[in-house]
Amino acid sequence: MGACLARIGWAYTPLAHGSSRNNRGRGLRKCGFRNKPLKKERPNERVVTIRPSWNGDERMSEAQLGSKRDEFWHTAPAFEGRQEIWDTLRAAASALEGNDLELAQAIVDGACITLPHGTLADCYDELGNRYQIPGYCLAPPANLIPEPGDKDQSDGPKRPAVAPKKEFQLKVRLSTAKDVLLSASMTDTIGELKTQLQAQEGIAVSHQRWYFFGKLLTDESRLQDSRFQKDFVIQVIMVNTGGL
């Protein structure tokens, strides 16, 4: 499918879980690989040879691009690699596309992922598993078909229908692996839920990044705006905005 995965032919000694950050990627460096800092992907930049050459040959809309990306992220773990690393890479790719390079780097470092080329397109976990991500999952194509604008602007912007306020227990999973239950409704905004999490767990709103299916949720968005269902889990990554 979209997952082009393979092991390369070098001898690698897996690192034990809990290895220090200074030892991360040691097995890769022994074979000539260095762990480089993450850099912003650009649609036309040829960083490594695995970048797809579909740009310019296949035009697609934003909705079609989203479907293509979903297909890759949902099928890639079935071929090779660990599900938790794929989920982490998807969150990092979303942060990188949103120009939050610091957050993307923090996500990668927190999962002990090594980047030989300084790009998410080709990387490794601490066990030596290789992960290859196609270019369309990292940046939109230069010839992306623009979505048609609202044809009727005379009546002003149309707000989506608001569902009845029915509360339920929302489960959020912190980056510390702790699960927290919040009282929520489908009409609640992410900003409101962040405030509730701050009151309950003491995590400042500015230090919270909420992700659902690898997509960064904005403070203005509501649960009902996504494909969220009541038994799903939202991932909350905690960041230090002051820098480390």
Q: What single-letter DSSP state applies at residue 48?
A: S
100, pLDDT greater than 60: yes
Q: Which residues partner with 114 through β-bridges?
A: 124
**Domain locations along the chain:** 21-137, 168-238
Domain 21-137 belongs to what architecture? Up-down Bundle (1.20)
| Tens-place pLDDT, residues 10-67 | 333 333 333 333 444 444 443 445 788 887 544 444 443 333 344 556 677 888 888 8
87-117 burial: b if 16+ Cβ within 10 Å, else e:
bbbbbbbbbbbeebeebbbbbbbebbbbbbb
Q: Are 28 and 12 in contact (CB under 8 A)?
A: yes
Q: Tell me which of 40 and 93 has the higher pLDDT.
A: 93
Residues 6+ apart with CB under 8 A from 109: 21
pLDDT at 125: 93
- Going from the C-alpha of 242 to that of each of 94, 103, 239, the distances in angstroms are 21, 12, 9
Classify domain 168-238 at the CATH class level: alpha beta
Tell me the mean pLDDT in the region 117-146: 87
Q: What is the pLDDT of residue 86?
A: 94
**Confidence (pLDDT) at 62:** 82
Reduce the DSSP state of residue 189 to 3 states and report it: strand
Name the token pair of 12. 């690698």
Q: What is the mean pLDDT of the chain?
A: 74
Least confident among 20-24, 209-213, 224-228: 20-24
Dihedral sign for Cα atoms in the order 75, 76, 79, 85: negative
Backbone angles phi, psi at 173, to 5 degrees: -110, 115
Question: Under a CB-based contact definition with an 8 Å cutoff, are residues 173 and 233 in contact?
Answer: yes
pLDDT at site 195: 92
Cβ atoms of 172 and 182 within 8 Å: the answer is yes
Would strands 122-124 and 168-174 be described as parallel, antiparallel, or unpaired?
unpaired
pTM score, whole prediction: 0.49
